[in-house]
Chains A and B, each alone.
Chain A
């Protein structure tokens, strides 16, 4: 008998957990709407071709795949950005741009389940479509920070980077595409041991070697850029560094710089990022809370070549670091012998904003009082 099991990495959310989740969704949703973002819903599964067009196939082993009756391969969505790019390219090409969209949904990845990592998990996020440049980047990052604040997190940091820095440096190295990919991976994973072993053997310029070796550990304010003299010799990388500085300044103007650090090791796993990238962390959890960035080539793959940027945050992880829960309205239990009087009283109290349970067991006053003693979160209203 397996009738009590749930599949690995999935879970039931009990009332208290759902209350926290809905509370976060309401706050985030209201905030997104106040910036002009509108909610969309896409299918829970997509054709594999759609998912792989977007993600480049690097997450194939994390996909839940199945077939439809016509032999098409379907994938539960592993994230939302690709689906939204497809949706916008199909349905919104005549709408004015920039377009501001948001979502709150479950996504699915076949990962090794552990604390804060599930196979079905919940994401909220925004996508700002059709806007290039630092102001769009700054808007999205500001909303990410304000969302965490609004939800009730205090002690968090958002790490910023620009993919153009590492890409510019690697492109000037003369390494093969495979070698570059491997090196990007080592920088992102902060595998300093393997990275320095690889750099030692590589036939590239000494200054460049030093710059690549230092990327994973460059972390702090804008001054970390000064520790990369190589930037001056590389047009792509120096343009990227200027964008990064500008975004940092814009966030400072918005009064958000307390939460922002520069981290040259943040590259994001997904292949579609092209510019500014960022991740959010809380010291109370050993895993990241949010991630996002600019993906200017993704929409074009669906036939609408437009720049875009966005982020997603993991609600399951946020719930783990969220300490206080909002107080709910007072809970009442209304009972009595006269059904119509009890119903009228219950509805009246609901109208005043109370949460009202009406007795459905036909209990006497004494029995109702016993119930309250057993569960004192409610107050008894007895209608004589």
Chain B
């Protein structure tokens, strides 16, 4: 039996640019549609398999070896802290982690945030950031609509992902501090990288060249 290369793909906004990239590097994409309900796509001639995952699940699939490679945002990698090899910065899916607060806090600095309440979908990353700054905050984990937290009074500020900043503005929030930038990454399972090196390394090199050439942005 031929050995398949399995790639975990992030569903949602990352899928379109990922498929553009795959087409550019010669990976099969026929029938892989963002609207499709299929969760596994198998290409027997190319011995390639795709698993369609929620972005936050991609590091799990890759760490455990259910997928050899994965396409996922740096934001997710940082939050989950899984042991995967981070092979290529694919440059698309740009966003940044920021601390944001109500307009009245415009101009306030980090030191003004000590002992404040911080609402976020990314508690690990937020906690680590504030601790590394020598600050103590109360982290309030929310699962969505984090922008509501300061408006409703359950938190003083938020830590969230921002791409254009439009959502912040709509909710009268201002960006106070940028924590880090995030783009999409190609990650690899630690063992698969070695046991399937003949397949993975050439693919990585092709993708690196293609990304440098500006395709997939």
Contact = CB atoms under 8 A, between A and B. Distances in A.
26 contacts: A157-B194, A189-B86, A190-B86, A190-B188, A190-B190, A190-B193, A191-B85, A193-B87, A193-B88, A193-B185, A194-B86, A216-B85, A217-B204, A261-B197, A282-B191, A283-B191, A283-B192, A283-B195, A283-B196, A285-B191, A286-B64, A286-B66, A286-B191, A287-B190, A287-B191, A288-B191
The A contact surface, by secondary structure, is mixed
B89 interface: yes
A226 to B, nearest CB: 16
5 closest Cβ pairs, A-B complex: A286-B65, A190-B85, A283-B195, A193-B89, A281-B191
Interface in B166-191: 185, 188-191
B75 interface: no
B163 interface: no
Contacts of A157: 194-195
Chain B interface size, as a band, is 20 to 34
Contact of A192 (B74, B87, B195): B87
A215 to B, nearest CB: 13
Contacts, number: 61
A190 B200 CA distance: 14
A219 B85 contact: no
A159 interface: yes
A245 B201 CA distance: 23
Contacts of A193: 74, 86-89, 185
A191 B192 contact: no
Contacts of A114: 64
A261 B197 CA distance: 11
A281 B194 contact: yes
B206 to A, nearest CB: 13
A219 B194 contact: yes
A61 to B, nearest CB: 13
Contacts of A190: 85-87, 188, 190, 193
Contacts of A286: 63-66, 189-192
A217 B204 CA distance: 10
Contacts of B195: 157, 281-283
Interface string B53-82: 000000000011110000000100000000
A115 interface: yes
Contacts of A189: 85-86
A191 B194 contact: no
Contacts of A217: 201, 204
Contacts of B196: 283
Contact of B194 (A115, A192, A194, A261): A261
A107 to B, nearest CB: 19
A66 B58 CA distance: 38
Contacts of B65: 285-287
Nearest to A218: B201
Interface in A188-204: 189-194
